[in-house]
Amino acid sequence: MARRPLVAGNWKMNGLSASIAELDKIIVGAGALAQRSANVDVMVCPPATLIANFAVAARGSNVAIGGQDCHALSAGAFTGDIAAEMLRDAGAQAVIVGHSERRQYHGETDAAVRAKAQAAHRAGLLAIVCVGETRAERDGGRAREVVGAQLDGSLPENAAATLVAYEPIWAIGTGLTPHPSDVADMHGFIRTRLGARFGEAGETVRILYGGSVKASNAKELMATANVDGALVGGASLVAGEFLAIAGVYR
């Protein structure tokens, strides 16, 4: 089963209107990759304030725009929240849900993440569902158990519009990455779990790796079995670095 890889940048709470200059470089670079028939999709997930402008700039290019979170409902009295329909209306094609920073700082449960993923599908967006264990959970030999429970609780029904991002929490923003054999082990576990849940459709779900992906380690990580691309944080803020990561699929 051929799955087209995706390299997605999660800008987190970074970026002002002037950051469109960085997006423009990413658009040019992604276009060059496409011309060389690179087998990769490229996405940028800026803060919500930039989505509409970024979507206009990226229209007709090889770069998709995504959100970083959404509310489960389509409208209502939820001050400060953003509906999936609003992201779509602003030009987004996807949304990250259940990032560990949302789970940690906003108390998002698996059930809440699942509701958000379903909202994404209702709005016509791809849902990028994040899972991952803490250092203590890994050291305690519980990584599979934790990630398995997150998958069971967080994944929505529609496999076709769902991606999974495996992001070990201890690897996010630390410069640490798991050994490729540990990544292969976890991605294989996730693949098996997707098969049990979705049958053949589980084979089509892309499983991204996230956590300290850089140009210098991307090649090895992206060559790992069942790694169908990357969810990139810090390194996605610099066009050259981000494009070098996508460029491993050249």
Residues that bind ligand 13P (CB under 6 A): 10, 99, 167, 172-173, 210-213, 231-235
**Choice between 156 and 210, CB closer to ligand 13P:** 210
Residue 39 and residue 188: Cα distance in Å, rounded?
A: 22
Q: Tokens 């993440």 sit at which residue? A: 113
Closest distance to ligand 13P from the beta carbon of 208 (Å) = 9
**Choice between 85 and 96, CB closer to ligand 13P:** 96
**Choice between 13 and 77, CB closer to ligand 13P:** 13
Exposure string for 84-122, b = 16+ CB within 10 A, e = fewer: bbbbbebbbbbbbbbbbbbbeeeebebebbbbbbbbbbb
> Is the separation of the CB atoms in 184 and 226 below 8 Å?
yes
Closest distance to ligand 13P from the beta carbon of 217 (Å) = 10
Active-site residue, 187 included:
no
171: which 2 tokens?
């690897």
> Is the separation of the CB atoms in 238 and 232 below 8 Å?
no
Closest distance to ligand 13P from the beta carbon of 25 (Å) = 19
Candidate list 99, 137, 187, 241, residue with the active-site label: 99
Q: How far apart are the first and last CA of the chain?
A: 20
**Choice between 172 and 205, CB closer to ligand 13P:** 172
Candidate list 85, 101, 137, 167, residue with the active-site label: 167
Active-site residue, 121 included:
no
Closest distance to ligand 13P from the beta carbon of 230 (Å) = 8
User: Which residues are known catalytic residues?
Assistant: 99, 167
